[in-house]
Structure 1
Amino acid sequence: MAPRPTVVLIPSWGSGHFMSALEAGKRLLAASGGAFSLTVLVMHAPTQAKASEVEGHVRREAASGLDIRFLQLPAVEHPIDCVDPVEFASRYTQLHGPHVKAAIASLAPSFRAAAVVVDLFLTALFDVAHELAVPAYVYFASPAAFLALMLRLPALREDLTGPGFEEMEGTVDVPGLPPVPPSYMPDCLVRRKIQSYDWFEYHGRRFMEARGLIVNTTIELEASVLAAIADGRCVPGCPVPALHAIGPVIWFDPKDDDQRRHECMRWLDDQPPASVVFLCFGSMGSLDAAQVREVAAGLERSGHRFLWVLRGPPVAGTRFPTDANLDELLPEGFLDATAGRGLVWPAWAPQREILSHAAVGGFVTHCGWNSVLESLWFGVPLVPWPLYGEQHLNAFELVAGVGVAVALEMDRKKGFFVEAAELERVVRSLMNGGSEEGRKARTKASETSAEFRRAIGEGGSSCAALQRLVGEILDLPVGR
C-alpha cells in the first residue's frame, strides 16, 4: 500500500500562535476531504507556563477523533545571551532542525510529507524542508499588513537614519496602506531594537523561499494590501510566493455543558443590548497603577456601562499578568460610584464568549490580531490601545485603512499613556453612535461580520482559497 500524504504542521509554542495554526491545519484537513492527514510537530515550550498550555491544547485535540497525530520533539538547550523574544524564538528554532528532520523521516513508510507548514517565526526550518525536497509554506497568524511590512524591511533599512523607525522623517511606505507615521510602526521594530529588526528582516527574506504564504485574513478585509503583495510592490523584481487568505481563523474552546456560566456572562445577561464597552488587553497586557487610575476616572466620567478585565502586574521575571488585587489597584470609591453599571473582573475572562454577547457594544483592545478578528466576527467596533508586537500597525490599519475603529490618542513618550479625558472621549464616541466616527465604525464592523461569514462559507473567498491550497499541495511533487 502506498504511503498516505500528510501535511506537517510546525506551530510556535505561544498559545495564540499554536491554536491559530492548529485551527488553520484543521480547516485544511477538512477541505482536503480525507485526501491527506495532519501531523503536528510539537516543540517543548521554553517556560513551564507555556508548556502547560500547549499540553492542554494537545490533549484536547488528540481526543477530538480527527485525522491528526501529534509528535513531541526532543528538548533542546535554550540559547543564551538573547536580547529579545524574537531572537530567542529564532535561535531556539534553529536548534530543532535535526529533530524536525528525523521526525519527518520517521513518518515513512506509513506516511509521506506532502508539505511542511511553519509559523512565521520558524522559517529556519525551511533548511530541513529544502533538504528533504518537501514544499514549505508559512502560516502567518498576523494581518497581511504586517506581512507586507516584513517583506519590505530590507528595502526600508536603507531609509533609516538610525537603528529604528523612531527617528525616521516623513512616513513609512507599507504597500496597500495609507502612508504610515513612524509612531505606528510595530513596537518590536522601534526604540533602537536593532537586533529585533535584524531577525524580523531575516524572516521576511525567508518568506520569499516559501511555496506559499497562508495568511489569517480575508480578501474583503485587506484587499489593497493583499493586492500590493501579489503585485510585487513589497519586493520589486522578485516573484512573490502564492498568497492564500483563508481567514478569519478563529477557534472556540469547547464548552462543558455542566460548567457554571461564567460570572461575567451572567452579569452581561442583565445589561441592555449594545450598552457595554468591554476592556481587555490580552494574555500579556497589564497596566501600571497610574494608568489604572486614569482608566477608572475615564470610565466613571463617561457614564457608560463597562466590563473591565483588569489584571495585576506580572511576577518578576515573567511577562504574564497575575490576578489583580482590586482594593490595591482601583481608586478608593470607584467600585461604589460605578456599582450597577460596571464590572471589574480581576482574572482571566472568556473573551470570545463576552464579545458574542448582545450586551457588548464596543471593545477597547490591545489589538492582538486574534482579538481583532474575534471582535469583528461578532460585529463589535473597536478602540485600539496597542501595547507590543505588531499591534501599533494593526491599530493604524483598523482606523485609517479599514474604518472599524475609533482612534485613541496616547502619549507614546510616556509608554503609550492614555489620559482619563481621552478614554472618556473615545468611549462616548464609540458607544451608542456618540459621534460620526463612532457610527461609521459600528456600521463597518457590522458589515465586516457579514463579510467574514460569507468568506468562510461555501463559495466564499476564504473557502475558495482553502480549496486552491489543497489542490496545490496534492499536485506538488512529494519529498523523499
Structure 2
Amino acid sequence: MASRPTVVLIPLWGSGHFMSALEAGKRLLAAGGGAFSLTVLVMQAPTQAKAVEVEGHVRREAALGLDIRFLQLPAVEHPTDCVDPVEFASRYVELHTPHVKAAITGLAPSSRAAAVVVDLFFTALFDVAHELAVPAYVYFASPAAFLALMLRLPALREDLTGPGFAEMEGTVDVPGLPPVPPSYMPACLVKSKIQSYDSFEYHGRRYMEARGIIVNTTVELEASVLAAIADGRCVPGRPAPALHAIGPVIWFEQKDDDQLQHECVQWLDAQPPASVVLLCFGSMGSHDAAQVREIAAGLQRSGHRFLWVLRGPPVAGTRHPTDANLDELLPEGFLEATAGRGLVWPTWAPQREILSHAAVGGFVTHCGWNSVLESLWFGVPMVPWPLYGEQHLNAFELVAGVGVAVALEMDRKKGFFVEAAELERAVRDLMDGGSEEGRKARAKVSETSAEFRRAVGDGGSSCTALQRLVAEILELPDGRR
C-alpha cells in the first residue's frame, strides 16, 4: 500500500468548536486533493449532554464517506477545583497527553502524521507534537482580534491595576483595532479571579510555539488585525507564527429533500422581505425574568416583526438553557398584543436556516463568532448583545472596527442589563433605515457578504490560504501541490 500522510485534528467537545474545526479539516482535506487523509482524535466530553452531541456529530460525519477516520480516546478523570471552564479544559486536556501520544505513534507506518492541529485551548498537546517531531498548528475558531489580544496578554498584564481589566483607566491596545474601552474586554478576563487571566495568558504564550495558526476569518474582514499580528506588534521582538486565514468556516447541515420545513421557517415564509428581526443568544444564552420583560416591552413598542428564540433558565449546576415556559416568562398579554407580527420560539431553532431566509432583515445576537460569521455570510446586519467569552470584544469590532452593527448600550454593573427603551431604539435604527449607523451597517454587511463568497471561491484569499497551508504541510517547494 502506498504511503500517504494524515493530518491529526484534535477538537474541543463543544459543538461550536468541534464542528468548526471539523469543517476546517474537511476543507483542508479537499484542498489537499487526496494527498493526505484526516484523523480526528475524539475526547470523551466531560458532560453527558455534550457527549451525546459529539457522538451525533461523529456518526453523521462518518456516514458521509469522506477520507476521515475518527479515533475515540480513552476516558480520563475530571480535574477538580477549577476556577473557570478554560482552566478545566486546559487541565482535562493535559490528562489526555499520554493517550494522544499513543494514538499518534500507533498510526500505521503508511499513515504518518504530517501535522497536528489542536483547538485554541489545547496547547498542552504541543508537548506531544514536539516530542514526536510533528509540526503543530492551532485552529483558532474565534476572530483574529481575540488572537491578537491573547498574544498581547503577557505585556498587558503590566498595565493592570486590579484583577482583569475592569478597573483599568484609559483604553486597551489591541493591535489592529481602534483603542478598546476596558468595558469591551472579554468577560472571561474581567471577572474577579485573576486565574482566568492566567489561563488565557498561558495559551497566548504557547501559540508562539506553533508552526502556524489557522484562523476562522478572512483577510478582507480583519486585514488590519492580521497585519498587526504578522508584523510582530503583539509580541514585540518575536515573529508571530504563520497565519492562515481560511474563513469563513461555517458548517451547513445537510437537509433531506423530504424533510419538513421547521415551524420557524414556515412562519417566515409568510413575512415580507427583510422585515423580521431575529433575536437568538446561542447555546448557552438565557436571560432572567426581569430582562425578559424588558425585551418583550422593547419589541412590542418597536412595532417591528420579530422572531425571538427565548430559552428558559439553566438547570442548577449547568450552563445550558432549558425550554422556556412562555406563560411564566412573558408579560401577560404580550403574545396577544404582538400576534401576527411576532413569533416567540421556546426551544432550539435552526439559526443558519433562519438567517438565510429572505424575510430576516436584522439579528440581535450574543456575538458568538460562529453566529457572527453566519450573519455576515447571509448579509444580515446586527445588534450585538454580548454575554460571555470573547463576545464583548467581538461586539466592539463589529461596531467600531467593521461597521456592520448598531451599538446597544447595556448596564454592565447589572450583568449587561438592557432597558426596553434601548432595545427599541436599536431595533428601530437597524430595521427602519432612519439612522446613519443603521444605513451604514446595512450597506457594509452586503459588501462583506459578497467579500466572503469571493474569499472562499477559486482564487479568493481564503482559498489561496488553504492551498498555501497544504503546500506547507506537505513541504512542497514554491507553494506547488
TM (normalized to structure 1)?
0.99
Aligned: 1:77 with 2:85: no
Using CA pairs under 8 Å that are at least 6 residues apart, name the structure with larger relative contact order, 1 or 2.
1
Q: C-alpha separation between the residues in 1 aligned to 2:449 and 2:259?
A: 29
Residue aligned with 1:278, SS: strand
The secondary structure found in structure 2 opposite 1:137 is strand
Larger CA deviation: 152-161 vs 251-260? 251-260
Matched position secondary structure for 2:239: coil
Q: Distance in 1 between matches of 2:139 and 2:155?
A: 23
Would you say 1:442 and 2:448 are equivalent positions? no
Question: Secondary structure of 2:209's match?
Answer: coil
Q: Which residue in the other structure is 1:380 paired with?
A: 380
Q: Residue in 1 aligned with 2:29?
A: 29
Contact 1:21 1:119 in 2 (8 A): yes
Task: Supply the distance in 2 between the matched residues of 1:251 and 1:35 (Cα, whole angstroms).
Answer: 23
2:42 paired with 1:39: no
How far does residue 258 in structure 1 lie from its aligned partner after superposition?
Answer: 2.2
3-state DSSP of counterpart to 2:267? helix
Q: Deviations over 1:364-385 (max 9, x none)?
A: 0000000000000000000000
Name the structure 2 match of 1:332.
Answer: 332
1:345 matched to which residue of 2? 345
**One-letter code of the match for 1:412?**
R
Matched, 1:357 2:357: yes
Once the 2 structures are TM-superposed, how far is the Cα of residue 4 of structure 1 from its aligned partner?
Answer: 1.3
Report deviation, 1:8: 0.2
Q: Identify the residue that residue 100 of structure 1 maps to in structure 2.
A: 100
**2:259 maps to amino acid:** Q
Secondary structure of the corresponding residue to residue 166 of structure 2: helix
Q: Which amino acid aligns with 1:380?
A: V
Is 1:203 aligned with 2:203? yes
Report 1:278-297 matches (<5 A): 278-297=278-297
* Partner of residue 418, structure 1: 418
Provide the C-alpha distance between the structure 2 equivalents of 1:156 and 1:46, rounded to a whole number of angstroms. 32
Q: Deviations over 1:138-180 (max 9, x none)?
A: 0000000000000000000010011210011100000000000
Contact 1:3 1:108 in 2 (8 A): no
Q: 1:434: how far off? A: 2.6
The gaps in structure 1 that reach 5 residues or longer are none
Amino acid at match of 2:30: A
Task: Show the counterpart of 1:216.
Answer: 216
Runs of 4+ in 1 over 4 A off after TM superposition: none
1:375-406 deviation digits (Å, cap 9, x = unpaired): 00000000000000000000000000000000
1:167 counterpart residue number: 167
The answer to whether the 8 A contact 1:114-1:476 is kept is no
1:109 CA displacement:
1.9
Q: CA deviation at 1:476?
A: 7.6
CA contact (8 A) 1:274 1:432 kept: no
1:110 Cα offset (Å): 2.9
Taking structure 2 as the reference length, the TM-score comes to 0.98
In 1: Cα distance, 2:347 partner to 2:163 partner: 38
* Letter paired with 1:92: Y
SS of 1:175's equivalent in the other structure is coil
User: What letter matches 1:366 in structure 2?
Assistant: H
Partner Cα distance (1:92, 1:358) in 2: 43
CA-CA distance at 1:3 after TM superposition? 2.8
Letter matched to residue 201 of structure 2: E
Cα deviation digits, residues 236-277 of structure 1 (max 9, x gap)? 100110000000000111112222211100000000000000
Aligned to 1:9: 9
Match of 2:214, SS state, is: strand
Measured after TM superposition, the shift of residue 183 of structure 1 is 0.3
Alignment correspondent of 2:266: 266
Preserved CA contact (<8 Å) 1:275 1:432: no
CA shift at 1:359, angstroms? 0.3
Q: Let me know the Cα RMSD of the aligned residues.
A: 0.9
- Distance between the aligned counterparts of 2:192 and 2:311, measured in 1? 29
- The equivalent residue for 1:191 is 191
Gaps of 5+ in 2: none
SS at match of 1:253: coil
The separation in 2 between residues aligned to 1:359 and 1:468, in whole angstroms, is 39
Q: Does 1:57 align with 2:49?
A: no
Shift of the alpha carbon at 1:327?
A: 0.3
Contact 1:7 1:116 in 2 (8 A): yes
In structure 2, what residue type is equivalent to 1:79?
P
State the partner residue of 2:453: 453
The one-letter code sitting in structure 2 at the alignment partner of 1:378 is F
**What corresponds to 1:152 in structure 2?**
152
1:237 aligns with 2:237: yes
Query: Which amino acid in 2 is paired with 1:106?
Result: G
The more displaced of 431-440 and 111-120 is 431-440
Give the letter for the 2:433 counterpart.
G
SS of residue matched to 1:438: helix
Q: Distance in 1 between matches of 2:248 and 2:432?
A: 27
- For 2:321, the equivalent position in structure 1 comes to 321
Distance (Å, rounded) in 2 between the aligned partners of 1:199 and 1:91 = 10
Aligned positions, number? 477
Return the offset for 1:2: 4.7
Q: Distance in 2 between matches of 1:209 and 1:476?
A: 22
Separation in structure 2 between the aligned mates of residue 260 and residue 313 of structure 1, nearest angstrom: 29
